[in-house]
Every structure is written in C-alpha cells, then in structure tokens.
Amino acid sequence: MADITRRLGWRHLRGAPTAHVRHHRGEKLLHDGPGLSFWFRALTAAISEVPVDDRELAMTFHARTADFQDVAVQATVTYRVGDPAVAAARLDFSIDPDTGVWRGTPLEQLGTLLTETAQQHALDALARTPLAEALVDGVAVVRERIAAGLAAEPRLPATGIEVVAVRVMALRPEPEVERALRTPAREQIQQEADRATYERRAVAVERERAIAENELASQIELARREEQLVDQRGTNARREAEEHAAADAVRAAAEAARTVKLADAEAARAVTLARAEAAGAREVGEARAAAQEAWLRVHGEADVATLHALTGTRLAENLPRIDSVTVSPDVLTGLLAKLGGERE
C-alpha cells in the first residue's frame, strides 16, 4: 500500500521498491516505475499500484483418484507480476488517492485464477492414477502436472503473471482409508520386528549355548588340572615324607651315637667316681681306724681318774643346758661318800 500525505490540496505519494506505480492524468502517463515518489492532484490523477515481488499462494483442495478414493492435496504456487502494465490493464490495481488502498481485490482475482488452473490440472492427473500409486508417486506427478499446466495456461501471460515455482506438500487420503492402508504396512513392520526379535533371541540362545560349552570345557580342563595337581601334591608329600624319614633316621642314628657316647662317658665317669669314692672311703676308713687305734691306745695308757674326767667332760658337753640345780643334803652326802670311796 502506497504512503500518501496531504498538503494544501496536493497529495504526495511515496511508493515501495516492490510496488510498480503507474500515474495517469487523463490519457497521459506521467509516472511509471517501482519505488516512485511524486506530487499529484487527487481530482485529476489515476494511480495504479502493482506489486512486483514474489508471492506465495497456498491452496488445499480435494480430488478423486482412478479407484474413486478422495484425497486432499496441499500445494503452494509462487508467482509474481512480470508485466505491471499488462496486469494493471487487465486487473483493477487502482488505489484511492486519499488513502492509498486498492479499490478492488486484484490479488484475490489472481489467487482464484491460479488456484482454479492448478486444481484443474491436479484433478486431471489424479483421476488417471490409483490411490496406492498416487500416495507413492503422486506428489511428483501432481507437481509436474500443475507446473506444466500453469506454464501452458494462456491467461497467465495475458494477465502479466509469471509462475516461479510449484510445490506439493502432501497427498492425504481420508482417515479411514489411511488407517486401512497403514494396517498392512504396520503388520509387515510388526512381522519384521518379531522376526528380528526371534533372530535376536536365536542368536542369544546360540551365544548362551556357546558360552555354556566354553564353561563346561573350562570346568573339564580345570578338573583335569586339579587331578594333575592332586597327583603332584601326593608325589610331593610322599617325597617329603621319605625325606623326613631319612632325616629322622639320620637324626636318630646321630642321637643314638651321641647317647652311646654320653653313656660311655657317663659310665667312665661313674667308674672313675666310684674308684675315687672307694679310694676316698678306704682312706677315710684307714684314717678312722688309725684314729680309733690311736684313741684306744691313748685311753689304754691313761689312768682311771683321767678317764673319769674325760667322761664327765663328754657327759657335760652332751647334757642339755641347766640354768639352776637344787642339791639336797641327802644327795650331796651320798655323792660325796661315793666319790670318797671311789678314790680310796
């Protein structure tokens, strides 16, 4: 939409770079081009503004396939006005000199033209194609058919329209038909998944069997090695016992020899000790005999009084300690009489 301002009965238009402006006054063309800016009088000016940028036209319509199934087509057509003069002559792109708004609906007319033309060619293409084939290759077929149909449509160049691109986003059947069509594919996918699961389980079972066989082989090998180990341990124990027995025999022989030597030494020492004791006893006996003989000889040569004195002395030595003695007159008289008689 053009930008128009008012100044004392005059109008000033400032166009956009993507809008082609045509200014007529009567039959004379005063301004023609995109992005113009000029003054004009509203009473004598006839101004058209034609957009020259690329525009997207989205369309959705229903079609019927060769097997009488309804499908929904979603497409987009990109177009632009290639000849603004022809478009302004064929369609009403005039604007209000006070507001800059289109007086008519030229873009809606272009949209209707493009939509009907594209729909016509799409319907013709789908009417010759079964549903299954349309769902598989229909997007490309419909896109090519619409592009070729729009390129061959004579009304578009006559209106100054150029088709830039055609895109078909989807071809969708009715929900019930779509679910029915999905069922075999889903079942096939489920079968493939089940087959993959079974194969995975089979591989797992095979691997478990291989693992079990490896474990069994390992256990057998371990048992065989344990048997060898037991045999080796028995051999080692027998050899160790024989070595211990030989060592014990050598030790016993050495101990016996040492014992014999000790016994011989003890016997020799006992004999020597016995001889020494016998010699000592003999010498002691001889000494005692000599002493007794001397004692007897001395006592034989001594008188009776001396012997009585010695006897008293020995008796006194052997008597217990007497702290006090009480002698009665009768005892003293008898003792003195006895001693006097013995002296006589």
Beta bridge partners of 64: 70
Confidence of residue 270 (pLDDT cuts 50, 70, 90): confident
φ/ψ (deg, to 5) at 96:
-75, 125
**What average pLDDT does this structure show over 174-179?**
83
Q: By three-state DSSP, how is residue 65 classified?
A: coil
Give the mean pLDDT of the chain.
Answer: 84
Q: Which residues contact 222 (CB under 8 A, 6 or more apart)?
A: none
pTM of the model: 0.52
Predicted local distance difference test score (pLDDT) of residue 119: 92
Element (H, E) at 90: helix 84-90
Angle of helix 131-152 relative to helix 106-126, nearest 10 degrees, comes to 140
In tens, the pLDDT along 120-172 reads 999 998 888 888 888 888 888 999 999 999 999 899 999 999 999 999 998 88
The DSSP string of 176-231 is: HHHHHHHHHHHHHHHHHHHHHHHHHHHHHHHHHHHHHHHHHHHHHHHHHHHHHHHH
Cβ atoms of 191 and 185 closer than 8 Å: no
Q: Is the pLDDT of residue 344 over 60?
A: no
In tens, the pLDDT along 273-316 reads 878 887 887 888 888 878 777 777 766 666 666 766 767 676 66
Beta bridge partners of 74: 60, 170
